[in-house]
Amino acid sequence: MILRRSSRVLAILLLCASAAGQAAPDEAAFQRSIGLRRAWQDLTRDVAWPAHWTPDGRHFSYRKTVAGGFAFETVDAETLAKSAAFDTARLAATLGEARHEAVDALHLPFAEFDYADGGKAITFGLGETRWRCGIVVYRCEAIVDNSRPRGFGVVRDLSVPADNAPTVSPDRTWTAFVQGDNLVVRKAGDAAVVPLSVDGTAGDFYDPETLRWSPDSRHIMIYRVRPGYQRRVLRVESSPRDQVQPKLRSQLYPKPGDAIDQERPVLFDVATRRQTVIDDALFPNPYQLSAPRWRKDGRSVAFDYVRRGFGRVRIVAVDAESGVAHAAVTEDAKTFVFADLRYQHEVGGRGDEIIWASERDGWNHLYLVDGRTGKVKRRITSGNWVVRDVIAVDDVKREIVFSASGMNAGEDPYFRHVYRIGFDGRRLTALTPAKADHDVRFSPDGSLYVDTYSRVDLPTVSELHRSSDGALVATITKGDDGALRAAGFRPPEVFVAKGRDGRTDIWGVVVRPRDYDPRKRYPVIENIYAGPHDSFVPKQYWPFGYHSGGDKVIGMQAQADLGFIVVQIDGTGTANRSKAFQDVAWKNLADSGFPDRIAWHRALAATDPSYDISRVGIYGASAGGQSTLNALLFHGDFYKVGVAYAGCYDNRMDKISWNEQWLGWPVDASYAAASGVDHAARLTGKLLMIVGEQDSNVDPASTMQVADALIRAGKDFDLLVVPGGEHSVGRSTGPIDYVARRQFGFFVRNLAGEPVPDANAVR
């Protein structure tokens, strides 16, 4: 149900309103809330994840909920017969043996996988590592990446050798590698090494991991690298489990403004040994160059260029014979080009035509670009809606399949739907009619697709469709949450209100206590994540955490049950709407969409007398931790209590990649403007900061610098440092129950004004 401001609702609720108070939560209430996820997580049936096709396109597989946990199921795309995707018990035993830990067959630690080895194995990610497990011969092993690590993609870790395995030319005539910082080749069957360069040094070396042969084996492009600053973040592991004394940890961690690796493309003609350093006029001051990619005919090679500061991106194409470069596509922005939103496809692999995603008209759309001139040949999509992802391109039929949101009037503008369109912008065809958020996976030949869709109030439905006309072939699964609802679960309410400008719709969700009484008054807690790189209010069903970035609905319910209304909102400055909507965050991270959020709160309070807008708290992690602190620093008249996890409280202390994307380069006053350290003296209200001692995502010193500034300003606050804890402490790993109790108790005591059960009492 979508709630909007309504005089009728207001009248009804006013009749029911009273000053009735809340009973203070006792120890049993705390334990119920802390254990809610465990109590409810196995109560749904046939809630399915997106499908993955076998390489031959004859079958597809997915995870779904079953009694006691999860199962992986495979469907024959022709007969529709279902069977187990693999033996989960054997895989659990094999994976557990490889990881030296117990693995539960009904709770395998991954939700999606890809097929490998012709369907004889699967691969999946666990943390930072990818794994391969055989499902014919059951054996699991970590996939070893021999490449040299790079700090956030821009500074090579020189303490680790590069992968210098000889690279064989396509015609098998030559091998190429780096010897003594220079590029050399060796003819097949010959022991003699032929140097192609002699100017490489330890401070200006040829990187073997960037070496790329042309398809005709005549040329090589490779990058010559001047190393950037090797900044190291040091962390003390105070309480290791395997020894008494602490350990010192070191991490390569470039920060905003640091000198980064400078890469210069160099082209070699193998037969003549001619060396051509590519003129960098088209790619000055690069933040990042992609690896070279040769066109199919070998006549040119291209790479992507992101200018430092993110104001320009470009495809640079280089003629293989002359070494002359030209701009195949250029994208400029007055604010930033959203790096994660970039998409390109070279039609036919030749580079004459390029499908390119651009926000140049204020919305992310697709264009057909002449790769020789860089000029737009024609627009493919247009309108006040956004292309979210390109799923497939058929160069022969000259058709594109893509997902988009915001196209359907009267619908949640974040719902993704899938469409097909011609390169000429004609024949736009909708493939997913259901009013929901859709995740579509096509068979390898594109003839079929599995559409998995849901809403926060609609368990997933998974359907097999024919691509040619979108016709339904069969319903594969239909989620059932009857037992979950019987246990007391209620989906979040969707609420929409106008933002700071009085025109823009701001969307959020509301979670109420299971014993909600509209006659009572409830303090409010906002779950915030306002990173500009995505939107975070859940749109899909899975209430235990299907969407990255935001807290789980069940986590919100657990807090609501202690006597709160808990909400989550996407304000301006977040993604997946217009360019102007997201641009609010540019050089303005302290904003976090707060004027929109506060307007949303006030609109809901105007319709709901139980919504106590005089008592609003807030919590969040990472960028959400920064926003939580800033709520108390810059909007202390509205937000009274905050719990901030692992915050990047000063963007000069955080990773280079995320912060230069939104605040630009060079480091300027906008970094200080959002700093919780510089503005710590403005703190009002109650603050609890929680940080993992071993946070490898955000330098934990950022939290301690806020603490130092608060102490110097004479401010009271609470601080919890979790020994050994990582960035996700209290959310997906670590002592979850302990930090959850500390968060819940902090809100009960300081926002609800109620006593908290004594955890140290003898029982």
pLDDT, tens digit, 9 for 90 and up, residues 586-628: 999 999 999 999 999 999 999 999 999 999 999 999 999 999 9
d(CA 347, CA 65): 41
Residue type, 512: R
The count of other CB atoms within 10 Å of the CB of residue 58 is: 14
Query: Is the pLDDT reported for residue 639 higher than 60?
Result: yes
d(CA 561, CA 556): 9
Question: Boundaries of CATH 3.40.50.1820 in the chain?
Answer: 19-41+483-750
Q: What is the mean pLDDT of residues 227-252?
A: 97
Encode pLDDT of 27-42 as tens digits: 999 999 999 999 999 9
E strand or H helix at 357: strand 353-358
Domain 374-477 homologous superfamily, CATH: TolB, C-terminal domain (2.120.10.30)
Tokens 């003549």 identify what position? 272
**CATH for 146-342 (2.40.110.10, 2.102.10.10, 1.20.120.140, 2.140.10.30):** 2.140.10.30
Residue type, 712: R
d(CA 609, CA 323): 71
Encode pLDDT of 417-471 as tens digits: 999 999 999 999 999 999 999 999 999 999 999 999 999 999 999 999 999 999 9
DSSP assignment of 598-642: HHHHHHHHHH-TTEEEEEEEEEEETHHHHHHHHHHHH-TTTEEEE
Residue 212: which of 303, 325, 323 has the closest Cα?
303
d(CA 502, CA 499): 6
* CA geometry: angle 350, 342, 655, nearest 5 deg: 130
Tell me, which fold does domain 19-41+483-750 have in CATH? Rossmann fold (3.40.50)
Residue 735's pLDDT is 58
Which residues neighbour 263 within 8 Å (Cβ) at sequence distance 6 or greater?
207, 210, 223, 224, 225, 286, 289
Q: What is the mean pLDDT of residues 488-499?
A: 97
Residue 127's pLDDT is 86
End-to-end CA distance of the chain: 44
d(CA 46, CA 477): 6
Share of the chain above pLDDT 70, in %: 95
201 contacts 209 by C-beta, under 8 angstroms: no
For helices 736-750 and 27-34, the axis angle rounded to 10 degrees is 130
Residue 18's pLDDT is 36
Q: 600 is written with which tokens? A: 């949303």
Residue 265: which of 314, 324, 327 has the closest Cα?
324
SS3 of 277, please? strand
Question: Boundaries of CATH 2.120.10.30 in the chain?
Answer: 374-477
E strand or H helix at 114: strand 114-116
The count of other CB atoms within 10 Å of the CB of residue 190 is: 11
Measured in whole angstroms, the distance separating CA 566 from the mean position of its chain's CA atoms is 23
For the chain, what's the residue count? 763
Q: How far is CA 251 from CA 146, 207, 230, 234, in A?
A: 18, 22, 10, 7
Encode pLDDT of 71-118 as tens digits: 999 999 999 999 999 999 999 999 999 999 999 999 999 999 999 999
Residue 762's pLDDT is 65
Give the per-residue SS3 of 667-686: CCHHHHHCCCCCCHHHCCCE
Measured in whole angstroms, the distance separating CA 400 from the mean position of its chain's CA atoms is 24
370 contacts 383 by C-beta, under 8 angstroms: no
Among 8-12, 201-205, 211-215, 391-395, where is mean pLDDT lowest? 8-12
d(CA 656, CA 699): 12
DSSP assignment of 115-157: EEGGGTEEEEEETTEEEEEESSS--EEE----SPPEETTTEE-
Runs of H (alpha helix) within 35-103? 36-40, 88-99
Question: Boundaries of CATH 2.140.10.30 in the chain?
Answer: 146-342
E strand or H helix at 252: strand 247-252
The count of other CB atoms within 10 Å of the CB of residue 254 is: 24
Query: Is the pLDDT reported for residue 337 higher than 80?
Result: yes
493-498 and 2-3 beta bridge pairing: parallel
Q: For residue 9, name the pLDDT band (cuts at 50, 70, 90).
A: very low
Residue 182: which of 165, 194, 166, 199 has the closest Cα?
199
